[in-house]
């Protein structure tokens, strides 16, 4: 049995895209009839096999692809899937862009989400049960990292307002604080960076969370979202810099206090709570006037758009004279 596994790995690396490798490993696990629990044991299979097993165990795989909501259009080509899934920011796995391999160690099932704070009744729900209660759709969204790279991704998921409805917030709730899973340092080696204020946390006002654009992502490119992109559930708020779009969320807390966010705690002068994309407000260390598209050269710049091009959806939320550094 194990000899067959080895043969699968002998695919010439040059002939295999990451997708091919992934499918190949899945098929091997299936063909051998190895129970995922056994296959997941590192002592039985070569390192990296866990990649296939993690995704193979994803019970949401049958839900995709989902119908596209045509309301959300792009002014640029969709980023190649291979770029969007191999150039990532996910500090829990390391402070560099090549974390996609390490992220396959993240155990994405079982995955319980806690809804607590100022709600009628606090509860916990498994992500697959949550998926049964919402309308899944695909949306093409731009994504703009504060570091000035940008991409365009077909996300699948559901409007965040649906989660708010399920949560039944009390009338006094003004914000939603969100938290990323704090897994073991073996699963998330980036947690060894002890100077970071773990866990990763983010927050939105209730008005922002209920905005039509605020989207909870559970899939991408017609498949379940990958661990490196924030499986099994992450946020997409495309009018804000990418760090607001928190990954691998386990908790939504409704509160009347402005949440402390990870980057704000670390460097308040550089990363504010609002973080609305604004070409006229430079980062203290670089210009935000232009951006480059993932897959292309960094030297090829396109102009940054106010609210990342989503003014019609969100401008009414923000007072025009606000003074916050990313605020307008
Ligand atoms: N938990 C967590 N969420 C996170 C981050 C992170 O480091 N940890 N990085 C953020 C940043 S800076 C960006 S640009 C996006 C990147 O998402 P992507 O890798 O899917 O492109 O995730 C955001 N969400
Ligand atoms: Mo980012």
What per-residue confidence (pLDDT) applies to 319?
Answer: 83
What per-residue confidence (pLDDT) applies to 46?
Answer: 45
d(CA 223, CA 53): 16
pLDDT tens column, 41-50: 433 444 444 4
For domain 13-325, the CATH superfamily is Oxidoreductase, molybdopterin-binding domain (3.90.420.10)
Mean pLDDT of 233-241: 98
Nearest CA to ligand 1 atom 19: 88
Q: Where are the alpha helices (DSSP H) in the chain?
A: 2-9, 18-32, 36-39, 49-56, 81-84, 100-103, 127-132, 160-167, 206-209, 262-266, 311-314
pLDDT tens column, 93-110: 999 999 999 999 999 999
Separation of CA 236 and ligand 1 centre (Å): 10
What per-residue confidence (pLDDT) applies to 13?
Answer: 34
Separation of CA 242 and ligand 2 centre (Å): 4
| pLDDT of residue 117 exceeding 80 | yes
Buried b (16+ CB within 10 A) or exposed e, 60-93: beebbebeeeeebeeeeeebebeebbbbbbbbbb
Mean pLDDT of 70-78: 97
Which of 145, 242, 270 has the most ligand 1 atoms within 8 A of CB, as the residue to mutate?
A: 242
Question: pTM of this prediction?
Answer: 0.84
pLDDT band per the 50, 70, 90 thresholds, residue 324: low
Structure tokens that stand for 92 in this block: 């829990």
Separation of CA 147 and ligand 2 centre (Å): 6
Of 51 and 69, the structure prediction assigns the larger pLDDT to 69
Nearest CA to ligand 1 atom 16: 89
Q: Domains of the chain: which residue ranges?
A: 13-325
Residues within 6 Å of ligand 1 by CB: 88-92, 145, 180, 200, 229-230, 242-243, 245-248
Nearest CA to ligand 1 atom 15: 242
What per-residue confidence (pLDDT) applies to 43?
Answer: 39
What per-residue confidence (pLDDT) applies to 326?
Answer: 63
pLDDT band per the 50, 70, 90 thresholds, residue 39: very low
Separation of CA 45 and ligand 1 centre (Å): 30
Mean pLDDT of 233-243: 98
| pLDDT of residue 284 exceeding 50 | yes
Nearest CA to ligand 1 atom 5: 90
Query: Backbone phi, then psi, for 10, in 5-degree steps?
Result: -85, 5
For residue 161, which of 224, 206, 131, 111 has the smallest C-alpha distance? 206
d(CA 271, CA 280): 15
pLDDT tens column, 254-263: 999 999 999 9
Which atom of ligand 1 is the closest one to the Cα of 235?
Answer: 24
Mean pLDDT of 213-226: 98
| pLDDT of residue 237 exceeding 90 | yes
| pLDDT of residue 9 exceeding 90 | no
Which atom of ligand 1 is the closest one to the Cα of 229?
Answer: 20
Separation of CA 143 and ligand 2 centre (Å): 9
Separation of CA 267 and ligand 1 centre (Å): 16
The overall average pLDDT reported for the chain is: 86
How many beta carbons lie within 10 A of that of residue 299, not counting itself? 6
Distance, CA of 141 to chain centre:
13
């Amino acid at each position: 049995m194990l000899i067959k596994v080895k043969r699968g790995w002998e695919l010439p690396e040059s002939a295999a895209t990451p997708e091919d490798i992934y499918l190949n490993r899945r098929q091997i696990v299936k063909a051998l009839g190895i129970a995922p629990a056994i296959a997941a044991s590192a002592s039985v299979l070569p390192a990296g096999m866990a990649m296939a097993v993690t995704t193979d165990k994803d019970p949401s795989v049958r839900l995709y692809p989902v119908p596209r909501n045509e309301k959300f259009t792009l002014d640029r080509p969709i980023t190649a899937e291979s770029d969007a899934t191999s150039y990532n920011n996910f500090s829990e796995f390391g402070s560099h862009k090549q974390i996609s391999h390490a992220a396959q160690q993240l155990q994405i099932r079982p995955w319980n989400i806690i809804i607590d704070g100022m709600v009628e009744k606090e509860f916990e729900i498994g992500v697959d049960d949550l998926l049964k209660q919402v309308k899944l759709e695909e949306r093409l969204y731009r994504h703009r990292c504060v570091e000035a790279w940008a991409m365009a991704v077909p996300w699948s998921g559901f409007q965040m307002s649906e989660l708010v409805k399920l949560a039944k917030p009390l009338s006094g709730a003004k914000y939603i604080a969100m938290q990323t899973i704090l897994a073991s340092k073996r699963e998330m080696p980036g947690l060894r960076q002890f100077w970071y204020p773990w866990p990763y946390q983010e927050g939105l006002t209730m008005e922002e969370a209920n905005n039509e654009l605020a989207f909870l992502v559970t899939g991408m490119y017609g498949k379940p979202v990958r661990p490196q992109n924030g499986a099994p559930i992450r946020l997409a708020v495309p009018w804000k810099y990418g760090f607001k779009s928190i990954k691998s969320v386990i908790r939504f807390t409704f509160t009347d206090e402005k949440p402390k966010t990870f980057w704000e705690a670390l460097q308040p002068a550089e990363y504010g709570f609002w973080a609305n994309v604004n070409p006229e407000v430079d980062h203290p260390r670089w210009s935000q006037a232009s951006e480059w598209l993932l897959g292309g050269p960094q030297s090829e710049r396109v102009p940054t758009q106010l609210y990342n091009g989503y003014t019609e959806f969100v401008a009414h939320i923000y007072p025009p004279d606000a003074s916050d550094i990313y605020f307008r």
